[in-house]
Structure 1
Amino acid sequence: MLRPQGAILMRLSFVWALGLALSIFAGSHSATAQTAPSAFAQAIAEAAARDKSIASFYKANGYKAIWTGKASKDRSRRKALLSALSKAGDHGLPVTSYNADVLKTNLRSVKSVRDLGKLEVQMSKLFLEYARDVQTGVLAPSRVDSGIVRQVPLRDRAKLLAAFAKSSPSRFLKALPPKTPEYQRLMKEKLRLEKQLAKGGWGAAVPAKSLKPGQSGPAVVALRNRLKAMGYLKRSSTQTYDATIQKAVQQFQLSHGLSPDGVVGKGTMNEINTSMQKRLSSILVAMERERWMNIDRGKRHIWVNLTDFTAQIIDGGKVTFQTRSVVGKNTHDRRSPEFSDVMEFMVVNPTWNVPRSIATKEYLPMLKKNPNAVSHLKLIDRRGQTVNRGAVDFTQFTAKTFPFAIKQPPSNKNALGLVKFMFPNRHNIYLHDTPSKSLFAREVRAFSHGCIRLSDPFDFAYALLAKQTSDPKGTFHAALKTRRETQINLKTHVPVHLVYRTAFVPAKGRANYRRDVYGRDAKIWAALSKAGVALRAVGS
């Protein structure tokens, strides 16, 4: 259901009503407040008893009001909070969770200092709920999907209240959302789509399975009109799939991660006919994901967008290097996880220590059939000695009892290629080279066991080493020529962020959309909807 923005703005009238009522209440009960200050403190203590953070804050401040007093600072805080809540929809937050009408009802029922204490705590809880949602997200990522193992930077609630109480209320609340340029661009794109949705969206879907240059007829007209509504085509009266439409299709394909052949095949048609509501939900999910990453990402950092199949080096907010990537296959045990860590070193001519899951699930069945299978791999016993396969009966082992480690020595055919980039983590995920270069030509590149394969690993290494040596290429190849496993430490460690964005907005150009390869964004949107986040149309 679409929500008109006007309904939210009506809550602003409550600011005046709250201030007036509290002022009247404070005046008529001033004697009570002066003769029995402990009554208000006791009321707060009782109301906050089940919330350790709020109880801690009020205990530290001597149980003084920050919302319900008649002082100008209290009025400013009330006004700032209600103003922020009225704009919660701009951030794609669950507006119905911040129900000012409940406060209004509770205010009208205030008849004692005890009631006022309850209202004081209630407003603090509302502030903390909104602050958490807009600052670090509505959802707990790992509860939505086990592959999202990101650590959300939750703030200390008691300290947040204390900082707010000492700050300019409006400035404090405005500083809560992420300040990344991407978050601001997503908000702008959200508003643009909401305004267009109010005007009817992109119009009718294209009634065809595919279209190609040279065709004409009603389906081509529908394609023309939809591309025009999306902003890829200027006004035109053509009914033929001409060069102008072909160029517009190519631009559409580029901004949707498709091969820009200018032909509307099945994949392109699916993307063209995706509804505006679906795109808007992708924007809202991307904003939630930005809130999960409301952290310092590092002036220089590595950004791997799993849905875009790319790995980038970002310096000062600008992409200074980019390469294609292959990510984990879309199966429960191979999907690449989402998390952040720090790259510490690279290994040239790496040995591949086969993960036990791969050794037992993939190689053990092969060895049972033929002890000489996968002969390029070495079996190592617990003493570190290479095993003579002819002396082993592999049929006696199960996945649990298999006693050997499996390794692949450095070589051009090594599964890790000739270099791997390490950011040690409990998920055993890293970036690496690969001998399987043909996969980088695919449009969808989800084939690995979970690690990230790079199309241009040598150039990636040069870009990293350029910060610490005047001859990065020479440094790298000196190690490569030894043909021995060699570790090159990064003098300055580089943050690595494995992210999953089906919607993102470049600094220049149109919003980009990608397919939900693991279905994670669908889960996030379902969870956000359940939490009360809703699409809306906004009149201009």
Structure 2
Amino acid sequence: MTKILGIKQGATGRLTTILGAAAVACAMLISPAPVFAQSIAFKQAVAEAASRDADIAAYYRSHDYAPVWTDGSDTQRGRRAALMAAISTADKHGLPMARYDPIGLMEQLKNAKTARDRGLIDVEMTKVFLQYARDLQTGVVVPSRIDSAIVREVPYRDRQGYMTDFTASEPMQFLRNLRPRTLEYNALMREKLAMEYLLAKGGWGPAVTAKSLKPGAQGAAVVALRNRLIAMGYLKRSNSMTYDAVMEEAVREFQQDHGLNTDGVAGSGTMSEINKSVETRLKSVIVAMERERWLNKERGARHVLVNIPAFTAAIVDDGRVTFETRSVVGATKAGRYTPEFSDTMEYIVVNPTWNVPRSIVTKEYLPSMKTNAGAAGHIDLIDGRGRVVSRDSVDFSQYNARNFPFSMRQKPGSRNALGLVKFIFPNKHNIYLHDTPSKSLFARDVRAFSHGCVRLQDPFDFAYALLARQEADPVAFFKAQLATRRETFVHLDVELPVHLIYRTAFTTPRGHTQYRADIYGRDAKIWDALSKAGVAMGAVQG
């Protein structure tokens, strides 16, 4: 049997016993005496214990305080066994085992001798069930409490609805179906198990001490690099002590999986990623599983997926990426982070006008115009009536961020900050996807430079892919709108879900799990919250 290590307070042996015997034990713990379970003492105990939770109290009250778990029927034996089996393996999902306390719950069941005991433990099992169900289906922590820029609306389910649906279902199947039913979640679970196995075996071996290595290099550092690439699965076993063509190709594959420029040189950036520990990668995987639970809903047969730390934007059709482009996201400074949320794309704007956000006007352009009235001269100054104002008529020195009476607007054109097209999914955060004249930024490994919106490397191709569903010749149609040089709104016949996510660990059909840097430090905050909730990294030995 698999042995799970790293469980606090020496619980390993006891938990292993539970894993093997939960179904049998739960079936035998409660004697077949429903007449006792439904006695006055039982109902009083249920009412007393449930009174501390409005949802649980309402559920039991509406069912005349009848037992859910603790009578002697086959149905309730099955529920007990299913719940104990589920919470005893909760760590497989990166959930906090201590929160459900399977060992303590088993002890309470064993010691439930009276009707009152049974009433108390019936409510306790309901509490554990509801906590486990919510944790597995929609996450252990509340995103908005972790970071104000995580504005995702988590699809929380009604707690009484959980009880109603569970009691009407086959218990094991119901509990299995709570987790995200996505290929990504399943792949992350497999990666978690692989990382835990590696952790038990000592990881990927010693770090490479060299700051960088190039093809042709030889010596101990090359051997360390070779061994680490072998342990990670990028290189077949070899006795080579030279950074040869085979190793160069392995480095390229590693770079591909970590969002680095694939030059085959183990420079400082690549070496930093190669030397990341198994523990670091495992944390990323567990956090990614938690994030997957926050998005546990239908995402749309066709949808747009923007992964912020991966600097990519993709169109996904029936679970398969059919278009992908590099992106630039919000800079790593306060006020510029790209938020995480979902919304619906409604239209495309060709030859867009840029109405400069007030924060940029007052924080960036106004200070420059105080020094030089002609600063940012390619952007018009607009008064309250929408008229263009001559800068020569304005004494900028008398204004500050609070009393500046003008707005700023940039006309359509190739120099426009939004480029020649933008993609709108109306939202209160004023975030959208758009073109940019700053093309050189897409060549960088880390592409966090915007004020929060997402810039696309291939915006025209992105537009063609979107319009292909409604135009016979999407390329000709788009170019015709572009040729007018006028701002033109093109509505999508079928609106498209857009999901801005933040995944530092994610899987691809190619095989290896890909990893990215935690550019905003959000994953570190999430891991800290998960750890405080009781989530732990476990090492697994075969």
What is the TM-score normalised by the length of structure 1? 0.96
**How much has 1:482 moved relative to structure 2?**
1.4
- SS at 1:23 equivalent: coil
Q: 1:95 aligns with which of 77, 94, 97?
A: 97
1:28-427 alignment, distance < 5 Å: 30=35, 37-110=39-112, 112-427=114-429
> Is the CA contact 1:413–1:435 (under 8 Å) kept in the aligned structure 2?
yes
Q: Deviations over 1:445-486 (max 9, x none)?
A: 100000000011111101000001111112212211111111
Q: Deviations over 1:89-123 (max 9, x none)?
A: 11111112111232234335545433322211110
Q: 2:30 aligns with which of 8, 15, 22?
A: 22
Distance of 1:107 and 1:176 partners within structure 2 = 25
1:473 to 2:480 alignment: no
- SS at 1:335 equivalent: coil
> Is the CA contact 1:282–1:503 (under 8 Å) kept in the aligned structure 2?
yes
Q: 1:451 aligns with which of 443, 450, 453?
A: 453
1:8 to 2:10 alignment: no
The residue identity in structure 1 corresponding to 2:476 is: G
Distance of 2:120 and 2:292 partners within structure 1 = 34
Q: Deviations over 1:22-73 (max 9, x none)?
A: 217x37xx3x557xx4443332222111211111211222221110111111
What is the TM-score normalised by the length of structure 2? 0.95
Q: Deviations over 1:498-531 (max 9, x none)?
A: 1111111112321111111111111111111111
- Structure 1 residues 240 and 5: alpha-carbon distance in aligned structure 2, compared to 1, 3 A threshold: farther
> Is the CA contact 1:14–1:100 (under 8 Å) kept in the aligned structure 2?
no
> Is the CA contact 2:88–2:102 (under 8 Å) kept in the aligned structure 1?
no
Structure 2: where are the runs of 5+ without partners?
Answer: none
- SS at 2:489 equivalent: strand
**Paired-residue identity, %:** 58
- Structure 1 residues 6 and 227: alpha-carbon distance in aligned structure 2, compared to 1, 3 A threshold: farther
Distance of 1:44 and 1:2 partners within structure 2 = 36
- Structure 1 residues 376 and 7: alpha-carbon distance in aligned structure 2, compared to 1, 3 A threshold: farther
> Is the CA contact 1:422–1:430 (under 8 Å) kept in the aligned structure 2?
yes
- Structure 1 residues 440 and 11: alpha-carbon distance in aligned structure 2, compared to 1, 3 A threshold: same
Distance of 1:413 and 1:268 partners within structure 2 = 35
> Is the CA contact 1:57–1:159 (under 8 Å) kept in the aligned structure 2?
no
> Is the CA contact 1:5–1:538 (under 8 Å) kept in the aligned structure 2?
no
> Is the CA contact 2:37–2:67 (under 8 Å) kept in the aligned structure 1?
no
**How much has 1:237 moved relative to structure 2?**
0.6
Answer with 205-214 or 8-17: which moved more.
8-17
Across the aligned residues of Structure 1 and Structure 2, the Cα RMSD in angstroms comes to 1.6
**How much has 1:5 moved relative to structure 2?**
6.9
Distance of 2:14 and 2:537 partners within structure 1 = 14
Distance of 1:14 and 1:84 partners within structure 2 = 10
Distance of 2:175 and 2:37 partners within structure 1 = 30
Structure 1: where are the runs of 5+ without partners?
Answer: none
Distance of 1:362 and 1:33 partners within structure 2 = 71
Distance of 2:510 and 2:394 partners within structure 1 = 61
